[in-house]
């Protein structure tokens, strides 16, 4: 298998990206195609000991800034690492693309310029894997579509369920819709109309859930509009980080607490791993004609390796073919 990895994705590009790629090449034995400026990649590769053949370089001179706007990115020349890599997926030169780069740019270039939508897909969708008590839920949409129409939502559920089955190894995924209450009468217009469509479908829809239920792992696939999804994810991260900061502050407050904090350090390390979404590595952009896994810009080499592992599973299990069938079925 050949997997393209954006060498210019993380905030500490290209170091972390390349370290993650090398780790994955060694562990999985696949060819990792590093996409980015050839000279910078070659210079960085000197710090690694890796047998030829496992690593290739695909030159892409332009580096898309993390804060570049999708509209500007679309107007720019097709020589960014994201554009070059997605072209390679489209041409079949590589089997998948993994990147820690600018999500808006990836979504725009994949959907409008390179891979384009799987036939019948109304809107491609960004997902996130949300880890609670070692159970991974897939959330979608988390940012591709800020104003969602009800009829798009069943497709989000179809695509999320296929990914949960094939890659997250969840045999019969439970689908839920995030709302401000579990009752059918709660929610805004979108929620009420979309959950009505889900209830009337043949899908394994278990109903609306509110945030506290997410923490009890009552569902495997959670659908929502991209605006709410993005805020919910950010709220989870911001709150977990805030609580961690409070703990650090309070543990400096008196000698007993300080000693307690020191003794409990391994416990805190285990907790951090459980709320750290970067441990998972990334999550798929679904609905386009190719496997694309997007991760956090702050990912470490291990996170990147984990993202590559997801891409491998998605290719091996032919997620794209399954989505093509699933969407065709849903249209009937």
- Can you give the binding site for its own copies, defined by CB under 8 A? 69, 132, 143, 146-147, 178-180, 185, 187-189, 191, 210-212, 214-215, 225, 227-228, 230-232, 234-247, 250-251, 253-254, 256-257, 259-268, 270-271, 274-275
Taking the complex as a whole, how short is the minimal distance between the CB of residue 281 and its own copies, in angstroms?
A: 21
Query: What is the spatial distance between Cα 97 and Cα 308, in angstroms, rounded to a whole number?
Result: 9
Taking the complex as a whole, how short is the minimal distance between the CB of residue 142 and its own copies, in angstroms?
A: 9
Query: What is the spatial distance between Cα 7 and Cα 19, in angstroms, rounded to a whole number?
Result: 10
What is the maximum alpha-carbon separation in the chain? 67
Q: Strands 125-132 and 283-286: what pairing?
A: antiparallel
Name the residue nearer to its own copies (CB basis): 15 or 253. Answer: 253
Q: Residue 168: how many CB atoms within 10 A of its CB?
A: 18
Taking the complex as a whole, how short is the minimal distance between the CB of residue 307 and its own copies, in angstroms?
A: 22
Taking the complex as a whole, how short is the minimal distance between the CB of residue 319 and its own copies, in angstroms?
A: 27
Taking the complex as a whole, how short is the minimal distance between the CB of residue 177 and its own copies, in angstroms?
A: 12
| First-to-final CA distance of the chain | 34
Taking the complex as a whole, how short is the minimal distance between the CB of residue 187 and its own copies, in angstroms?
A: 7
* β-sheet with 175-178: strand ranges across: 55-59, 31-36, 2-6, 96-99, 291-294, 283-286, 125-132, 135-140, 221-223, 175-178, 205-209
Task: Answer yes or no: are the C-beta atoms of 310 and 293 closer than 8 Å.
Answer: yes
Name the residue nearer to its own copies (CB basis): 242 or 316. Answer: 242
Name the residue nearer to its own copies (CB basis): 124 or 143. Answer: 143
List 62's β-bridge partners, or say none: 80
Name the residue nearer to its own copies (CB basis): 253 or 318. Answer: 253
Name the residue nearer to its own copies (CB basis): 32 or 283. Answer: 283
Name the residue nearer to its own copies (CB basis): 97 or 236. Answer: 236
The C-alpha angle 77, 281, 115, rounded to 5 degrees, equals 35
């Amino acid at each position: 298998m050949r997997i393209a990895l954006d060498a210019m994705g993380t905030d500490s590009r290209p170091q972390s990206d390349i370290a993650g790629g090398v780790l994955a090449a060694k562990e999985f034995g696949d060819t990792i195609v590093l996409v980015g400026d050839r000279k910078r990649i070659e210079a960085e590769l000197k710090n690694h000991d890796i047998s030829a053949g496992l690593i290739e370089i695909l030159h892409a001179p332009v580096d898309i800034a993390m804060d570049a706007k999708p509209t500007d990115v679309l107007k720019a020349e097709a020589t960014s690492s994201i554009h070059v890599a997605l072209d390679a997926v489209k041409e079949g030169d590589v089997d998948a693309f993994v990147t820690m780069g600018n999500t808006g740019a990836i979504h725009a270039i994949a959907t409008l310029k390179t891979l384009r939508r799987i036939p019948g897909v109304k809107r491609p969708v960004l997902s996130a894997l949300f880890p609670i008590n070692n159970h991974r839920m897939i959330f979608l949409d988390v940012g591709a579509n800020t104003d969602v129409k009800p009829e798009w939502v069943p497709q989000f559920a179809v695509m999320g369920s296929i990914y949960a089955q094939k890659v997250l190894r969840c045999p019969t995924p439970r689908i839920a819709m995030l709302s401000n209450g579990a009752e059918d009468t709660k929610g805004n217009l979108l929620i009420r109309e979309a959950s009505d469509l889900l209830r009337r479908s043949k899908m394994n829809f278990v109903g609306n859930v509110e945030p506290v239920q997410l923490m009890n792992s009552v569902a495997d696939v959670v659908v929502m509009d991209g605006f709410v999804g993005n805020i919910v994810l950010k709220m989870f991260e911001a709150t977990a980080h805030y609580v961690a900061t409070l703990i650090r502050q309070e543990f400096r407050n008196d000698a007993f607490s300080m000693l307690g904090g020191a003794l409990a350090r391994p416990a805190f390390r285990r907790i951090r791993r459980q709320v750290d979404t970067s441990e998972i590595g990334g999550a798929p952009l679904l609905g386009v004609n190719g496997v694309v896994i997007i991760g956090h810009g702050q990912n470490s080499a291990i996170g990147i390796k984990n993202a590559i592992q997801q891409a491998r599973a998605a290719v091996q299990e032919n997620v794209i073919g399954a989505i093509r069938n699933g969407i065709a079925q849903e249209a009937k």
